[in-house]
């Protein structure tokens, strides 16, 4: 999605510079929510203020909304059959592989030191074996991240390793 946006907003329409685009993406990635929706709200805002944000968001949600609505209406009428179950089992197996691959790719970007490795493994174990709620895991991880940063800044100020 990003290359499409870059071409449209920067090259074709000149609404923002390349640099502004990079800054916008960086901030957008640190926000919670759906990335595409964040992106269209943020760019909409930068181009045309609050109403720009609303218009951008409406534009990005409407097509998939209508599309899913039609599918959902059709699906509820589709009788559950043996064959359909098997087809879905096949799709779920394929999705398992896709998620594993995306986890692997993400791991190469995110796991850089002992801190991130421990946090990631601990998160996985807590979710799967302790069945901790995902929301509390996110809250705990944010807190640990803040504490870790406070301590590493403290030791850097004393002349220790940053």
Partner 1 sequence: MNTIFFLYYLFAKISLFTFGGGYAMIPLFQDELVVKHAYLTDAEFANMVALAQMTPGPVGLNAATYIGYHEAGVLGAVAGTLGVMTPCLILATLAGMFLQKMKDNRIVKGALSGIRPAVLGLIAAAVIFFANTSLFSAPFSNLWKGGGFGLCWQGLLIFAVTLALELKWKLNLLWVLLIGAFLGWGLFLF
Residues ≥6 apart with Cβ < 8 Å to 60 = 36, 37, 39, 40
- Choice from 3, 4, 12, 30 touching partner 1 (CB under 8 A): 30
Q: Own/partner pairs for 147-152, CB < 8 Å, 24+ apart?
A: 148/115
Residues ≥6 apart with Cβ < 8 Å to 137 = 123, 126, 127
155 binds partner 1 (CB under 8 A): no
- Choice from 3, 97, 157, 162 touching partner 1 (CB under 8 A): 97
Name the residue nearer to partner 1 (CB basis): 6 or 45. Answer: 45
Q: Judged by CB under 8 A, how many residues of this single chain contact partner 1?
A: 89
* Cα(75)–Cα(70) distance, integer angstroms: 9
In the block, tokens 């218009």 appear at 55
123 binds partner 1 (CB under 8 A): yes
In the region spanning residues 52 to 71, those forming contacts with partner 1, defined by CB under 8 A, are 53-54, 57, 61, 63-65, 67-69, 71
114 binds partner 1 (CB under 8 A): no
16 binds partner 1 (CB under 8 A): no
Q: What would the two tokens of residue 24 be?
A: 């916008």
Give the Å distances, CA to CA, from 48 to 16, 64, 124: 12, 24, 42
In the block, tokens 């074709």 appear at 12
26 binds partner 1 (CB under 8 A): yes
90 binds partner 1 (CB under 8 A): yes
Candidate segments 8-16, 108-116, 154-162, binder of partner 1 by CB under 8 A: 108-116
Binding mask 125-154 for partner 1 (x = CB under 8 A): -xxxx-x-xxx-xxxxxxxxxx-xxx--x-
């Amino acid at each position: 999605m990003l290359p499409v946006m870059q071409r449209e907003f920067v090259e074709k329409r000149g609404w923002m510079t390349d640099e502004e685009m990079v800054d916008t993406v960086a901030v957008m990635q640190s926000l919670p929510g759906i990335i595409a929706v964040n992106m269209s709200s943020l760019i909409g805002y930068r181009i045309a203020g609050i109403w720009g944000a609303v218009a951008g968001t409406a534009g990005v949600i409407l097509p998939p909304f209508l599309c899913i609505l039609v599918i959902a209406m059709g699906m509820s009428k589709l009788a559950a059959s043996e064959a359909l179950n098997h087809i879905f089992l096949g799709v779920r197996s394929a999705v398992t592989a896709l998620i594993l691959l995306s986890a692997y790719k993400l791991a190469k970007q995110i796991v850089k030191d002992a801190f991130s490795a421990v946090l990631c493994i601990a998160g996985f174990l807590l979710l799967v074996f302790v069945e901790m709620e995902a929301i509390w895991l996110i809250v705990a991880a944010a807190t640990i991240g803040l504490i870790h940063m406070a301590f590493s800044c403290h030791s850097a100020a004393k002349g220790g390793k940053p």
